[in-house]
Chain A
Amino acid sequence: MVNKIEREFSVEESLSVLNPYVREWFTKNFAELTPPQKYAFKLIAEKKNVLIASPTGTGKTMSGFLSILSALFEKSLEGKLEEKIYCIYVSPLKSLNNDVYRNLTRPLEGIYELIRASKGKEIITGNIRNVTIGVRTGDTTQQERRKMLSKPPNILVTTPESLAILVSSSKFVENMRGIEYIVIDEIHELASNKRGAHLSLSVERLQEISKKKFIRVGLGATLHPIEEAAYYLVGTEEGKTRPCTIVDTSMVKKMEVIAISPVKDMIYTKEEKIEDEVYKEIDRIVSASSTTLIFTNTRSGTERVVFNMKKRLKYKPEEIAAHHSSLSRESRLEVEGLLKQGALKCVVSSTSLELGVDIGTIDNVIQLGSPKSVSRAIQRIGRAGHTYNAVAKGEVIVLNRDDMVECSVMLDAALHKHLDSFSVSRNPLDVLAQHIVGMSIDRKWEIKEMYNLVRRAYPFSTLTMEDFLSMVDYLAGNYAGLESRRVYGKIWYDKETGMIGKRGMFIRPIYMLNVGTIPDEVSIGVFEISSKKWVGNIEEEFLSRLEKGDIFCLGGKLHMFDHATGTKCYVSPAASNTPTIPPWFSEQLPLSYELAERIGDFRHNLSKELERMNQDEAKSVVSSKSQIKIPEGAQSILDAMPINANARIAIAKYLTEQLLFAGAVPTNKLILIEYTRDDKSESDILIFHSIFGRRINDTLSRLIAINLGVILGQDISIAINDNGFVISPEEDTEIDEETIQQLIRKVVNSDMEAVLRGNIRNTEMMRRRFRHVASRSFMILRNYMGRRMPVNRQQISARMLMKAVEEIDPDFPVLRETYREIFEEVMDIKRTKELISRIKEGSVEYKFIETVSPSPFSHTILTFGHADVVLMKDRNDYLRYLHGLVLKRIGVKQHASKSKKAKRERK
């Protein structure tokens, strides 16, 4: 049973549950209870599982911990506090671990001091000891680990990965049999992904090891639906959800937010001018506050902003700093320290400061460009404001036209508390593989017993026995011949007795060294070939796509790729002004579905009002330099938005211009299909304006491209974006309304999953994801026999592996998991299916238009696309198709009949 508690307890009720010393320490140090504390102290003291959702800076950690400390000191006062672990705290970030360690050491010392003062000699005679705390992460030294083994702390602070190792350490496990509490922090960062699924199994294994049922406390920020997070926290027992009480004070913090357009017109203003105005805005806000936190959406963006603030706005190096995950740990810690001292005027971050790391007081948050989700916007802006009852002030500065509409709608949703939803990663088989191995190392199991344990973790609560057994079979090496099981098998499984256990002595180190879900990625330094000057970093995956002569954009400039050595890549300045390789967007987060839906809705409502204008009125709106006159309905829609005056004008102009140019604004009820000519590539393209977010567009665009490829008999390249996608057929291909109708008919009637499966197997994404899944499933051992496999070796290996696995079984579990991950976590097959059935029944319409040049709504789709190639589905004639390309290029007319004749002759 999961229930939400609505009424808070009184201060007296809350404090009465605490041990007198703990209570004394608390009231001495804090003037009042924060909202989550008013619920949590009592609930946790009553030994209930509790999920607490509350913004950073609302005393969340203390709300989760104080009753636990109280219970531990009770034991101590009775002289019964042993040298063993009573409480485990898990957070996804090492830096958070250090914060929590510091933040708990203070109360522990304070409380013990009070006890010592009051008890005197009894401290020794009564064996009243202080509660101890220790940190165990990947950074913990061997010596500290040994010490921890013989003298375990009462509270162990750790990461999901370290916990997975600890539950399989035969000696350390003895220290954990008496666990009474587990605290999982930043649950919103874990519940939705494989890392969280991995943790959930570690927790169930821990429950199996420990003698009694422990209390589960979850801490997190804004999250929707919050019940789902509660299910994740507590898991199930005998098929039923364990009890959990939800404390939701995530909306206590008041927000004052505004979307700022730096200029009145986002279409005709030159990019340099927009950039100038953006920095002026930043300067205005930063100089008016004592400390400002600026969020960008990418690490490269962070670097660029810091660079420009120093160069253009003359900020001194000691006033401003960058903080992102590519920086070294030391420099990040230094920045955090400076922030706490209030020594910085401004800090720029990508995602690394979004989580609850302690950074002192922030006056103001600036967000540059859309953070792509309402929850993330709330989380980021929530970092501003001294205390939980202060108002969080945030400004979102928009960078382009689509950004502008997006940010406006997002802030409006944030103020109305309309959050985007998350979902738990269900039944990831690669994560399961690691734990099956881990459990087999611990002891022999009866297969059913292991299966039941796995199903207690919520992410695996629907796992079928069939899937489970397929993983067991795989791990037992049953795909290899009997004589090679020794090499391929990690476990043995005896079908007769139903028992399962580890195989060989090497499997323990393999598990310990390769456990975890975060794949290896390496960043490659890019250098100017003549000056050897550093230009920036690209991802290794991106490098693998580059060939000599390719032109790509980095740090706002174009570079021509020359060659690469190891982890360095050399380029020269590009003479051309169009990149041949599109920018790599893996860094950028996809727009959430809910937000996309709301943007579509907003566009629909506003365009309906703007359509009331006649041609002349509309033209005057577009051409006006200052004030504009639009219908009253439209004006009132815009007036209700949390945006500045510039943004109101710019949005109205943007939609009006689209109406004038294309006769329609794409909405969540109308997909606009624009057939136009791209001047840059000098080719005809199809632009699908489909405002459904990147995950749906990723799915939909492939379905469209595959089916169009079948109609036209060619490879099709695509570029995907949150707001739509571009389809580029070969030159000299004629497309008309009839083609499109035929195409849509094909798409709505196709077997989506089968079509996509056949197609994505040849993509870069598939290769990359397969590598990740294969290494998570211990098929590629990143760390083996004392060697670390470099990423490029992993890539080559993964390629061979994929070929081989497909040859032996197209439904091999590791392949199946790769497809599942792509369908459910990269794409959104479920919602795409819903969309397609809406297209079929007509509640979502499509309209085909031809334009001489791309319409205003096309421009950002064309500039920021994530590209891929969809191959011809029918590959029987593929060799002939390739040959045809060669002949065409050297100017020879094709004689298709010739090869047919040759074939006949051979027969």
Chain B
Amino acid sequence: MLGKDVELIEGKPIAYIRSIKAFVLSDIHLGYEAHSARNGVLVPKVNLAYMKKMLKDAKAGREVHMLIITGDIKNDFSSVETEELNEIMELVEFAALEGLKVILIKGNHDNFIDRYKESLRIEICSESKEIDGYVFFHGDSVPKIKGRPKMLVMGHEHPSISIISPAGRKESVKCFLSGKYKGTRLLVMPAASYFAGNSSVIHAEKMMSQIFRVVDVESMHAIAFGYGATMDFGTVKTLRLADRRATAARL
């Protein structure tokens, strides 16, 4: 369904596109811990280290030259906080050491980041970026699509699925969504952030991203990952049906 060119790295929120030798990562939300500390919750810093480790592990045995971030590299809407900038710098430096060129497509959290374009030395795109037929964008709005791309890749949605076990416990796992937008393949990336809140596509009454005004989410496949594995759970429609049955069985 994703085609031979795109590989979802086992157990991780990373997509690998062979032809362009790129990793795609979305919704990292660096600076979350500092934001939290300002509100009186002293969350220790783990997100950045987690990203680095994940990328390093995923890179083993693969040829990768590019890191495409489909939006929300940072967390704060209103400015670029010192802690955020430090962490972004660190991530960019890490990427450089690993031989990865960073391309950021701006998300709704990435305000004011252009100011640091020079010092960061990364490519920042405000709407979308096309590379060899792959179109990358964040997802808070839908860019104009020209021609016939191979695939659209977006973030923003933070998709997950939650499944009720017979014992009555709700278990949530993050997922990719894979389907079609006006005949073109569409891949919705999960949020990579260690902390990101996720919205269950099974129970969501309305999806966040504009693209779902056109795309019927029920037709999309939820490809879940976690516990060291990645697995296609079937269409959202099927998952919703299973969920209704499980709920009915409990009543």
User: B163: which of A728, A880, A886 is its contact (CB, 8 Å)?
Assistant: A886
User: A882: which of B37, B83, B168, B171 is its contact (CB, 8 Å)?
Assistant: B171
B119 within 8 A of partner (CB): no
User: A479: which of B44, B83, B165, B229 is its contact (CB, 8 Å)?
Assistant: B44
Known: A890-B238, A890-B241. A869 touches B229 (CB 8 A): no
* Closest chain A residue to B249, Cβ basis: A889
Known: A781-B40, A885-B166. A899 touches B194 (CB 8 A): no
A715 close to B242 (CB less than 8 A): no
User: B251: which of A481, A551, A785, A869 is its contact (CB, 8 Å)?
Assistant: A551
User: B46: which of A779, A808, A889 is its contact (CB, 8 Å)?
Assistant: A808
B231 within 8 A of partner (CB): yes
B233 close to A715 (CB less than 8 A): no
User: Which stretch, B93-101, B140-148, B220-228, touches the partner chain A?
Assistant: B220-228
B238 close to A804 (CB less than 8 A): no
B246 close to A715 (CB less than 8 A): no
Chain B residues, Cβ within 8 Å of A715:
165-167, 169
Chain A residues, Cβ within 8 Å of B210:
none
Known: A715-B165, A804-B194. A784 touches B229 (CB 8 A): no
B residues 38-86 in Cβ contact with A at 8 Å: 39-46, 50, 83, 86
B43 close to A800 (CB less than 8 A): yes
A876 close to B227 (CB less than 8 A): yes
A549 within 8 A of partner (CB): yes
Known: A479-B44, A807-B50. A576 touches B251 (CB 8 A): yes
User: B44: which of A716, A804, A890 is its contact (CB, 8 Å)?
Assistant: A804
The SS class assigned to the B binding surface is mixed
B157 within 8 A of partner (CB): no
B238 close to A886 (CB less than 8 A): yes
B112 within 8 A of partner (CB): no
* Closest chain A residue to B244, Cβ basis: A889
B residues 111-128 in Cβ contact with A at 8 Å: none
Known: A800-B195, A890-B242. A805 touches B167 (CB 8 A): no
Chain A residues, Cβ within 8 Å of B227:
875-879
* Closest chain B residue to A510, Cβ basis: B40
Chain B residues, Cβ within 8 Å of A800:
36, 41, 43, 195
Inter-chain CA distance A480–B173, complex, in Å, is 29
Inter-chain CA distance A219–B171, complex, in Å, is 50
Chain B residues, Cβ within 8 Å of A730:
166-167
A797 within 8 A of partner (CB): yes
Chain B residues, Cβ within 8 Å of A551:
251
A106 within 8 A of partner (CB): no
A886 close to B194 (CB less than 8 A): no
B250 within 8 A of partner (CB): yes
Chain A residues, Cβ within 8 Å of B239:
886
How many B residues, CB 8 Å from partner?
Answer: 47
Inter-chain CA distance A549–B251, complex, in Å, is 8
B231 close to A883 (CB less than 8 A): yes
Inter-chain CA distance A880–B41, complex, in Å, is 35
Chain A residues, Cβ within 8 Å of B250:
580
A488 close to B245 (CB less than 8 A): no
Known: A487-B34, A804-B46, A807-B194. A882 touches B163 (CB 8 A): yes
A52 within 8 A of partner (CB): no
Nearest chain B CB to A474 CB, angstrom units:
10
A789 within 8 A of partner (CB): yes
Known: A807-B46, A808-B44, A886-B234. A728 touches B167 (CB 8 A): yes
Inter-chain CA distance A714–B166, complex, in Å, is 9
Chain B residues, Cβ within 8 Å of A882:
163, 165, 171, 173, 224, 233
Nearest chain A CB to B165 CB, angstrom units:
5
Inter-chain CA distance A730–B245, complex, in Å, is 16
The SS class assigned to the A binding surface is mixed
B242 close to A889 (CB less than 8 A): yes
B83 close to A484 (CB less than 8 A): yes
B41 close to A801 (CB less than 8 A): yes
Nearest chain A CB to B169 CB, angstrom units:
4
B residues 150-198 in Cβ contact with A at 8 Å: 163, 165-171, 173, 194-195, 197
Chain B residues, Cβ within 8 Å of A807:
44, 46, 50, 194
User: A549: which of B50, B167, B238, B247 is its contact (CB, 8 Å)?
Assistant: B247
B165 close to A869 (CB less than 8 A): yes
Inter-chain CA distance A780–B37, complex, in Å, is 9
Inter-chain CA distance A717–B165, complex, in Å, is 10
B27 within 8 A of partner (CB): no
Inter-chain CA distance A808–B234, complex, in Å, is 35
As a 0/1 sequence over residues 861 to 893 of chain A, the CB contacts with chain B under 8 angstroms (1 = contact) are 000000101110001111110110110011000
A734 within 8 A of partner (CB): no
B163 close to A780 (CB less than 8 A): no
Chain B residues, Cβ within 8 Å of A580:
168, 250-251
B110 within 8 A of partner (CB): no
Chain A residues, Cβ within 8 Å of B33:
804
B194 close to A803 (CB less than 8 A): yes
Chain B residues, Cβ within 8 Å of A797:
36, 39, 41, 43
Inter-chain CA distance A890–B227, complex, in Å, is 24
* Closest chain A residue to B229, Cβ basis: A879
Inter-chain CA distance A228–B163, complex, in Å, is 49
B233 close to A886 (CB less than 8 A): yes
Chain B residues, Cβ within 8 Å of A878:
171, 226-227
Nearest chain B CB to A593 CB, angstrom units:
28
Inter-chain CA distance A481–B86, complex, in Å, is 12
User: A869: which of B163, B168, B224 is its contact (CB, 8 Å)?
Assistant: B168
Nearest chain A CB to B107 CB, angstrom units:
20
Inter-chain CA distance A787–B38, complex, in Å, is 12
Known: A576-B251, A580-B250, A886-B234. A805 touches B173 (CB 8 A): no
User: A481: which of B43, B45, B171 is its contact (CB, 8 Å)?
Assistant: B45
B42 close to A779 (CB less than 8 A): yes
Inter-chain CA distance A487–B226, complex, in Å, is 32
B231 close to A885 (CB less than 8 A): no
A272 within 8 A of partner (CB): no
Inter-chain CA distance A177–B246, complex, in Å, is 67
Chain B residues, Cβ within 8 Å of A885:
163, 165-166, 242, 246
Chain A residues, Cβ within 8 Å of B195:
800, 803-804
A731 within 8 A of partner (CB): yes
A781 close to B34 (CB less than 8 A): no
* Closest chain A residue to B165, Cβ basis: A715
User: B169: which of A483, A780, A871 is its contact (CB, 8 Å)?
Assistant: A871
Chain B residues, Cβ within 8 Å of A803:
46, 194-195
Nearest chain B CB to A27 CB, angstrom units:
58
A488 close to B234 (CB less than 8 A): no
Inter-chain CA distance A869–B171, complex, in Å, is 11
Inter-chain CA distance A714–B250, complex, in Å, is 18
Inter-chain CA distance A869–B234, complex, in Å, is 27
Chain B residues, Cβ within 8 Å of A728:
167
Chain A residues, Cβ within 8 Å of B169:
715, 717, 869, 871
* Closest chain B residue to A906, Cβ basis: B10
B43 close to A804 (CB less than 8 A): yes
Chain A residues, Cβ within 8 Å of B171:
878, 882
B50 close to A488 (CB less than 8 A): no
Known: A882-B171, A886-B239. A487 touches B37 (CB 8 A): yes
A480 close to B44 (CB less than 8 A): yes
B245 close to A890 (CB less than 8 A): yes
Inter-chain CA distance A92–B170, complex, in Å, is 40
User: A480: which of B10, B40, B45 is its contact (CB, 8 Å)?
Assistant: B45
Chain A residues, Cβ within 8 Å of B46:
803-804, 807-808
B residues 192-241 in Cβ contact with A at 8 Å: 194-195, 197, 224-229, 231, 233-234, 238-239, 241
7 extra A-B contacts, CB within 8 A, seeds A484-B45, A715-B166, A800-B43: A547-B170, A715-B167, A784-B40, A796-B197, A797-B36, A800-B41, A878-B227
**4 A-B pairs with the lowest CB-CB distances in the bound complex, closest first:** A784-B40, A781-B40, A717-B167, A889-B242
Residues of chain B at the chain A interface (Cβ within 8 Å) = 10, 33-34, 36-37, 39-46, 50, 83, 86, 163, 165-171, 173, 194-195, 197, 224-229, 231, 233-234, 238-239, 241-243, 245-247, 250-251
7 residue pairs A–B, Cβ–Cβ below 8 Å: A484-B34, A789-B39, A796-B197, A807-B194, A879-B229, A882-B163, A883-B231
